[in-house]
Chain A
Amino acid sequence: MNFSLINELPRIFEGVSSFGQMDVQTVVIRLALIAVGLALIYLSAKEILDPLILMPMGLAMALVNGAILTMDGRLTNLFVDPMLAKPDDVVNSMQIFFLQPIYNLTFSNSLIACLVFMGIGVITDLDFLIARPFTSILIAVAAELGSILTFPLAVLFGFTYKEAAAIAIVGGADGPMVLFTSLELAKDLFVPIAVVAYVYLSITYAVYPYMIKLLVPKRMQGIVMDLRSIPKVSSRQKLAFAVLAGTVLSLLLPVAAPLFASFFIGVMVKEANIPRYRKFLDEVVLTGSSFFLGFVLGALLSVSVVTDPRIVYILILGMIALLLSGIGGLIAGVIAYWLSGGKTNPLVGIAGVSCVPTTAKVAQKCAFAVNKKAIILPFAMGPNVAGVITTAIIAGIYVGLLRGA
């Protein structure tokens, strides 16, 4: 064998030499994806963005777009190939792509969304929802404005009804729900929609306070709410709610039953006070699924997958959806303020956008910034949890209506 090392360098450093096999546009997108991945890591490390999901996502994005090589005559990577459809190809790919088993066994069937939901259920506080159900639910329904009005906008942008529904549900600000809906209705757009949703959800913590300052008068922001006005809710009542609501919602919307089952089993474990299960769902299931969610989503953002130019529209529509939901929630909060004779802090409205518990914390943070005595977090958790339920209902209706269309 007569090897010339210089001549073989392109085969050794395939990640670099693969640039030469791409057109200019693909090279630019590839470099941009690496840059975005590195930016996500930087912003997560600075805690400007949520590091739990976005740090592993950023690392995977940067690495997967660097590690491109030629296999069977086409450019690919050794992380994951989401484009495979034939069962034989999927089974064979599990011997090659190291994240393929996780993608096929947890992403393709929405299991990852359900695992995250189990974890959310076990950290959810139901007290205010059960104490003030109609206030919480009406605020949460108003905070679904983005999930609704983005739908016709997406249709206007040229998306089909299925794709429009998958994009619109970003307005529900609930990561697992976005995964579920896009996997059910728009599998081709699943990667861009899911990534846009998770990036935007992590910046809601930074963007919503500005929206609050813009839309709610300062004197209203610092209103103190009386914690003693929350009636006591027993664990038994919360347990009964989890069982009954889960059963009724599954009966009404069977397509969303896996999500309801996952959420309410988390709630049940918490309220039944089974410490070992509680610890397992919180520390193992939620932590593990969040980690793999971020890492696999990042690995899916390879230049060979992200070729759909409509990603720009998804970016615009995702932002519109979250802004509309925030505005809807705040309008409902102001109405609650007037109806309660000034006793309700309108900032609880923003918590109707169901990013549990981020938006409730945003409400508390903004109220606290104006008045150090304003403790509104327990009140904000009501619309926050109701938001999870209303988003699941809307996702269930979208999927039920459009799945067979």
Chain B
Amino acid sequence: MRNRLLSVIGVAVPLCGIIAVAGLLRVSHLPAEGQNPPGTAQRTAWGEPDLQGIWTDPYETPLQRPAQFGDREFFTEEERAELDRLRAGLLRRDARAEHGTERDVSGAYNAVFQSVQPTGKRTSLIVDPPDGRLPALTPEAEKRNQAEREYRLALLQATETCKNQEPECAGGKYGPPSPRRVEMPPLYNTVAKNRNDHPEDRSRSERCMAAVLPDFGGYRRIVQAPKSVAILYDTGQGQGWQRVIPVDAGPHLPSSIRLRFGDSRGRWEGDTLVVDVTNFSPSFSYLDSRENRHLVERWTRADSSTIQYSVTVEDAATWTKPWTARQELIRQDERANRIYYEPRCHEGNYGLPAMLLGARTEERAFAAGEGPDPATKDTTIGFGNEGGADQLTGNSGAIF
């Protein structure tokens, strides 16, 4: 067996040798270690800016700026302290809705499941437009959202949520189960809806596919080699992911190839890694955008403990103009962060089949006259939001 393998290798060696010699001639221009220009940012052994390590943004910063801060990019220290005080006082701990209601049963997660990070310097991640808010949606995107909203409300129509005129039913009405329940959603579904017919009816998060790009949360480990930058994202609920950014590679993939995390092409502009990302998939959404999203990321090592990250998001089918978000990623201690939880959400995903199986069981019970019509139940109620919204982020505490 070994002999045969070796003979295969024997044929390959002469061909590869020629390539190797050609290679040696072409790499001679790379600076050797110790020849870096003095006073520049940290550099790798081969002379590129060094972005390596484990990085995170340890602060809570809303994507969009709360209106009262106008065009102001940063909080004062006093404002941060006050916000921290207010947010720490949020009683999201064991608040309960009226016992026995759907809302009560759904509120199974208390503050233990919801970390609250300290308030950061920035009033919002978005720095452009200057008001820190997402630009207006295009009429086309408004139309998509309207169709989506109408469908979602139709699925809720027969539930207590609409009967009690809860905010989730705003714009909808209470009535008998909608005939639209058998329709597929207007667009490929990515968020939880009040229907459990298929895995595709549940959110990307419940299907262990929550992560999308741009990704502002969690931790990232960056490892570099000449002409490639690998990033391992350890992000929410064991749903991490990884990418390798090719540097100075050719043009983007043909537009027929659509990828969940897009197609990245990097280049060094001075000490900044600029990454152009296109070819996104229509089946994953980020905010209101899908396949037409185009990102330009900028990664700059600002100092030994900071990476300045910014991303410009452009999608002419969704927003009336591009917008830019910025965040500071802080270097994390390697040893303290050795507790790396590999992304194994899927391997332990009992929740998704249990939810679907539960729905099938309820349908059988209803058919046998032993239970309520499943269409009258709301399975999209947020978790543990009874204590009110986070005054900084506006988040209601819903984790899906």
- Verify that A and B bind, or say they do not: no
- A residues apposed to B, CB below 8 Å: none
